[in-house]
Structure 1
Amino acid sequence: MRILLVDDETLALERLETLLVDVPDVEVVGVARDGEEAAEQIAALRPDLVLLDIQMPNRDGLCLARALKARPDAQVVFVTAYDQFALAAFDVDAIDYLLKPVEPARLKLAVDRARRLRVVGAPEPTFESAEPEVVNEPYSAPFWVRRPRGLVRVEIDSVAWIEAARDYVLLHTPNRSHMYRSTMDALTPRLDPASMLRVSRSAFVRREAVVRVRRRRRGVLVLELSDGAEVPVGNTYTHAVSREFLQVYDDVD
């Protein structure tokens, strides 16, 4: 996996390079410090993945990503300090949206998603011009995610975990994340409690996706999922989660 790093902050570039050392089968082929330099580097180096900041001189990351939609060989993951651009980021087909400071496991998950997309290819999204009728069967209705061309269907069974993002949630599937307008509390009645478990105020996880439970030294439980994601457990949910996953529970790491 050939990766180009784009950020106007030297420390941010250095941190990404350091974190990527521990991600197997990746090569940092170049760095760029603004949007114009990044466009030149992408044309010259043809990276598989661009880790892209948003607010930069000359040309911002969103503008660059819109231009890259014509180059499906260069996938984009945004890495930024600002969460308010998340909706716009997914409108330009970003694979993922990482907030600084980036957690190592979260970065590895984003790279793994990009790698899987290169192997299997991105499925062509199905667009609807209007909101489809709600399915009457409990817990089976898909999510219809708004995109610039219409609505994209995301099957609920494809979602491994759900993360709060202000007035939206991020639906995390094996290949990419989708931004959906809802609060966590409003989402709860739509989720089958036999399949989806709330583990904090800001996260649901699919029970069958959990492969390991670890306790960090500060006492925080962390759920490791089959796609490599690590989801912290909120304090008020710790007892229930420990009891639920007793078989895959590990000691302090």
Structure 2
Amino acid sequence: MKLSVLVVDDEPIARQAILRLLRDDPDITEITECGDGQSAVEAIRAQSPDLVFLDIQMPAMSGLDVFRTVGFERMPATVFVTAYEQYAVRAFEANAVDYLVKPFSRDRFAHALARAKGRLAMPATTADASSHIIQALDALRRRDDYLERIPIRESEQVTFVDVDDIVWIKASRNTVLIHLPDRVHEMRETMASLAERLDPRQFARVHRSAIVNVRRVQTVHPWFNGYHVVTMDTGQKLRMSRYQQEAFLKLVSIQR
């Protein structure tokens, strides 16, 4: 199998590492490199390489932007490269998408290249591969839509709260009370509306009137009649509804 390969990475050292490993492979007949997303789009459209090693985190135009701009139908087989962005890795693993985590070993690179060659040798799986990549990118896009900071209006000023600092959130009629380690902010928004904008991998609804930051959970103890008590790292104790089984499993897995 003779292949043409495009390597896209804004870091010259990382790009050279991939180029060096590719030159050792007798199946690679042509290698092109790009240091930014826009030139990558132009190279893919002009050269139609068989395989692309595509860095995710690039300024101006990310690897995901490159994929969307070129289009799923015209995009070559792709191995995504990431500097260990855990959410990206989970999305790729869940959808069987090839990826490399920087810094990677020679063996890990060889494994990713072999998988890519195997998929290229089976054109009947191309549609399935595209479907998997679309699902992975959709998962990443949803992550980008989640709040990282919450603006809260207080009198004539706006206070910004980092979601990582939130301990838990309590529903209070048409407002929510955002509990931080040292203070509480009131926000005019419904619990349901705010919950949709929070990353479900970080926030879990343990009761109809309470959402917790799972990263700040200290312990979960059984109570009675199927209920549990969640203790936060501030010492705050919250009752978990017996109907919140999914949230309970998520919290338990964190403690193991």
Q: Same fold (TM over 0.5)?
A: no
TM-score w.r.t. structure 1 length? 0.45
TM-score w.r.t. structure 2 length? 0.44
Which structure has the higher relative contact order (CA within 8 Å, separation 6+)?
A: 1
Higher Rg of the two aligned structures? 2
